[in-house]
Amino acid sequence: MQPFSQEDDLIKLAKKDPDAFGELYELFFKPVYRYVYGQVRDHSETQDIVSETFIKALKAINSYTPTGKPFIVWLYRIAKNTTIDHFRRANREVDVNWLEIVSTDNGLEQVEHRYWLDQAMQHLTEDQQKVIRLHYLEDMKFKDIAKATNRTEGAVKAMALRAVGRLRLVMGKEGVTYGA
């Protein structure tokens, strides 16, 4: 099973028919938007940068060569460069920490893992997603999550354990590992 076959098919189609690029836009708009907004923290600027990112991607789609990494990684690079250009044009400072993280190979690996994690989260129930986000992303304690979700602390811990196991299983099938 090739995890990128649908993606590859869309890319091939977009290379032949620019109107088909719209499907790639629909597929990747939200993650690119979240990625840019995480750096810019302004919806209006984010919209401008994301629009410019996709225009650049459309113009460059014929030069895109699959590398075995998800297409989103290529889009993130374009978004990173577009964001830098945007800040330069506005004579504003760019968040150096973000540039250091994203500019390194390890940073791109983190971006790729984040993409796979987002995809894997879709395999969890809404309740499992909520518990994972609250505990691991917002650093909320299990007892507080239990109060907020009207469950026992044990039920929340069990849900988190099952969710993490499911994430590992799904991501393992895609060949994504951490700390290896």
Each residue's pLDDT expressed in tens, for the chain with a length of 180 residues: 344 467 888 899 999 988 889 999 998 998 888 888 877 878 889 999 999 999 999 999 999 988 777 888 899 889 988 988 887 777 655 443 333 334 444 445 555 556 667 777 888 888 888 888 778 766 778 888 888 888 999 999 999 889 888 887 877 665 544 443
Distance CA 169, CA 175 (A): 10
Based on the domain organization, do 96 and 178 belong to the same domain?
A: no
Based on the domain organization, do 52 and 103 belong to the same domain?
A: yes
User: In total, how many domains does the chain have?
Assistant: 2
Q: What pLDDT sits at residue 58?
A: 95
Which of 170, 168, 167 minimizes the C-alpha distance to 129?
Answer: 167
Query: Taking the CA of residue 176 as centre, how many other CA atoms within 13 Å lie in the half-sphere pointing to its CB?
Result: 22
3-state secondary structure of 44: helix
Based on the domain organization, do 88 and 3 belong to the same domain?
A: yes
Q: What pLDDT sits at residue 67?
A: 79
Based on the domain organization, do 118 and 162 belong to the same domain?
A: no
Q: What pLDDT sits at residue 126?
A: 86
Could you say which of 80, 102, 122 is where a domain stops? 122
Residue span of the structural domain in which 32 resides: 1-122
Which of 133, 109, 119, 108 minimizes the C-alpha distance to 170?
Answer: 119
Tokens 């994504």 correspond to: 176
Say what the pTM is.
0.54
Based on the domain organization, do 20 and 105 belong to the same domain?
A: yes
Distance CA 13, CA 51 (A): 21
3-state secondary structure of 27: helix
Extract the tokens encoding 7: 């993606």
Handedness of CA 20, 23, 25, 31 (dihedral sign): negative
Based on the domain organization, do 105 and 147 belong to the same domain?
A: no
